[in-house]
Amino acid sequence: MKTWFITGTSSGFGRILCEKLLARGDRVIATLRRLNALDDLKAQAGDSLQIVSLDVADVRAVRRAIDRAFADFGRVDVLVSNAGYGLFGAAEELTDDQVEQQIDTNLVGSIALIRACLPRVRRQGGGRILQVSSEGGQMTYPGFSLITRQSGASEASSRRWLRKSSRSASASRLSSPVRRGQTLVLGSSRQTHCLRTMKRPWANCDARGRRAASE
């Protein structure tokens, strides 16, 4: 039985991962902002699931959550930095607050989590760190400028940081899942007016995000 610490578990990959891990008998520390989102899982899993309220944009709160996890369970085998959301629309439409909030959540939050957990992972003699990114770190589409810049920065920093950590007592992975249909946009995302009035702006893009020649 392993102990997992996962951020962003109210829906999507985070929620699915919790379900799979609990079903196989592991323990999960699930962080999210909407505590009631996992009420059904808590009723089924009991003490195997610990739910923690956390906004990863709050760096101090991230540190407190990591401290509590290691204090309560003694050891955390796998830490998954999954919290984040998409902010889609024309670059000039985005407000300063929108840009800052997404960077704080998707980039600064993941950095804070890795910084907080690495010393503890080393002290316990090993563990795994999984950084979940998006295909936006590899390609882009119309209206996706901010998520692409943020994903690229997140992947670049994570690759270097996690590669360095893998030389010590921890193993690490970077996952960049690709979109399927409209799941990316309709899930943990926010859209500006420009994107809402566009009909699937990525639909005619190739694997590198380039528009078809006929358009």
Is the residue at 205 inside a domain?
no
Q: What is the CATH number of the domain that holds 66?
A: 3.40.50.720
Is the residue at 214 inside a domain?
no
Q: What is the pLDDT of residue 211?
A: 42
Instruction: Please state the domain count of the chain.
Output: 1
Is the residue at 122 inside a domain?
yes
Is the residue at 111 inside a domain?
yes
Is the residue at 202 inside a domain?
no
Is the residue at 104 inside a domain?
yes
DSSP state string for 111-179: HHHHHHHHHHHHHTT-EEEEEE--GGGT---TT-HHHHHHHHHHHHHHHHHHHHHTTTTEEEEEE-PPP
What range does the domain containing 125 cover?
Answer: 3-196
* pTM passes above 0.85: no
Is the residue at 120 inside a domain?
yes
Q: What is the pLDDT of residue 141?
A: 58
- Averaged over successive runs of 10 residues, the pLDDT of the chain (215 residues) comes to 94 92 96 91 94 94 96 93 79 80 85 90 88 64 60 59 56 50 43 46 45 39
